[in-house]
Amino acid sequence: MDAARFAQPHLLNQPVYQPGKPIAQVAREFGLDPAGVDKLASNENPLGPSPKALAAAAAALQEVNLYPDGSCWDLTGKLAARLQIGRDQLVFGNGSNEVLELAAHVFLGSGTEAVMGVHGFVVYKLATLLMGAKPVEVPMPDFRHDLAAMRAAVTPRTRVVFLASPNNPTGTAHTEAELVAFARSLPEDVLFVLDEAYAEYQDRAPDLRPLIAEGLPVLCTRTFSKIYGLAGLRVGYGYTRPDIAALLHRARAPFNINAVAQAAAVAALDDADFVRRSRETNRAGLKQLAAGCRDLRLDYVPSAANFLFVRVPDAAQAFVFLQQRGTIVRPFGHLPDHVRITVGTTGQNERCLANLRAYLASRV
């Protein structure tokens, strides 16, 4: 019998996450040398991993016969001190992706709703659907979250509101005052998930810790995948009210953060120099990409993150054209005239802009 006939019915329509295309795959498909392919598709750190993190990961490999510390003791302690919060306020995930899913696990199910922006991070919708709950997608004029409209979309069935600032893929961000007012406006039985995956790229990221201390149901999520350059190791975390953290812990698998990842993340937190260089590289690269787009008369959304959301005619065609020339960007099925370009090194950005220029020239 077809297994779909005895699977959970809501799963049969579950969309599948489409990741950025790997370098090896593009090289294979287009007959290119992988060394000449630039991946600007997944907002990864173009400087590579922090060298300190790499050394710690190599050392940790020696002991992978042992299970990891299921409590992430060292990492928890370091981050709790850094953030000046209690150990009992932290939860780690296999990427912050898992923390978002844990929130969905705990608070969403059939008959409940989650509110999100229509151009918000796609994982919110996937996690909501996975739990059999209803995603309520709020329009985003000018690709910005409309906080008043999101508040208005909250109903007695709403259990979670998802919001990224800076947002992926649009790069738009909200001020601390806006986020605080929004959080305060929500009912006390609605979890506000503020996704801070790109907060480290901001000069001064909004800080919702005082609201959490005050007792508001706020979960902030962060990741080691972006500025810390450890996307392949999969570590992210959430910080929240202790009772919410305890619920999230109930939903997570034992040993969800592997030993190599834990060691690397601890070391990455100590590599302030790498984080500073990453921020500076990004700031310069963002300027370079934006100036290049203005030159090419391509509209873009001003970005607070490590990528640029650019309006390109026939994005699906551009995606293929750019790959032939060794640049992988990220198209979006529901946005046929936009691509997202991760800020790379100066050389990667230069090649990307030259390839975009060639693409535009090929169309006239």
Ligand X SMILES: *Cc1c(COP(=O)(O)O)cnc(C)c1O
Binding mask 148-167 for ligand X (x = CB under 6 A): ----------------x---
CB atoms within 10 A of CB 272: 10
Structure token digits, residue 325: 């020339």
Among 130, 197, 260, 341, which residue interacts with ligand X (rule: CB under 6 A)? 197
Nearer to ligand X, 43 or 349 (CB): 43
CA dihedral 56, 58, 63, 64 (to 10 degrees): 110
Chain position whose Cβ is nearest to ligand X: 95
Cis, peptide link before residue 302, omega less than 30° from 0: no
Instruction: Note the maximum CA span of the chain.
Output: 61
Dihedral sign of CA atoms 338, 13, 113, 219 in order: negative
Structure token digits, residue 172: 């738009």
Q: Does 231 bind ligand X (CB under 6 A)?
A: yes
Dihedral sign of CA atoms 71, 247, 89, 149 in order: positive
- Residue 250 CB, shortest distance to ligand X, in Å, is 20
Q: How far apart are CA 95 and CA 73, in angstroms?
A: 17
- Residue 211 CB, shortest distance to ligand X, in Å, is 20
Give me the long-range contacts of 309-312 (CB less than 8 A, separation at least 24).
309/143, 309/169, 309/170, 309/171, 309/338, 309/339, 309/340, 310/338, 310/339, 310/340, 310/341, 311/337, 311/338, 312/337, 312/338, 312/339, 312/356, 312/359
Residue of 92, 87, 65, 63 lying closest to 77 (CA atoms): 87
Binding mask 108-127 for ligand X (x = CB under 6 A): -------------x------
Residues linked to residue 307 through DSSP beta bridges, in sequence order: 342
- Residue 79 CB, shortest distance to ligand X, in Å, is 14
Q: How far apart are CA 15 and CA 24, in angstroms?
A: 25
- Residue 1 CB, shortest distance to ligand X, in Å, is 35
- Residue 305 CB, shortest distance to ligand X, in Å, is 8
Q: Does 237 bind ligand X (CB under 6 A)?
A: no
Q: Does 168 bind ligand X (CB under 6 A)?
A: yes
Q: How many helices (DSSP H) and strands (DSSP E) are in the chain?
A: 13, 13
Among 96, 170, 348, 349, which residue interacts with ligand X (rule: CB under 6 A)? 96
Nearer to ligand X, 166 or 285 (CB): 166
Q: Does 223 bind ligand X (CB under 6 A)?
A: yes
Nearer to ligand X, 85 or 261 (CB): 261
- Residue 169 CB, shortest distance to ligand X, in Å, is 8
- Residue 357 CB, shortest distance to ligand X, in Å, is 27
Q: Does 285 bind ligand X (CB under 6 A)?
A: no
- Residue 58 CB, shortest distance to ligand X, in Å, is 21
Among 113, 195, 200, 271, which residue interacts with ligand X (rule: CB under 6 A)? 195
Burial call 320-331: b when 16+ CB within 10 Å, e when fewer? ebbbebbbbbbb
Stretch of 91-99, 212-220, 315-323, 342-350 lying at the interface with ligand X (CB under 6 A): 91-99
Stretch of 22-30, 81-89, 95-103, 107-115 lying at the interface with ligand X (CB under 6 A): 95-103
Q: Does 236 bind ligand X (CB under 6 A)?
A: yes
The residue behind tokens 């030159």 is: 295
Nearer to ligand X, 131 or 220 (CB): 220
* Residues engaged in binding ligand X (CB under 6 A): 43, 95-97, 121, 164, 168, 195, 197, 223, 225, 231, 236
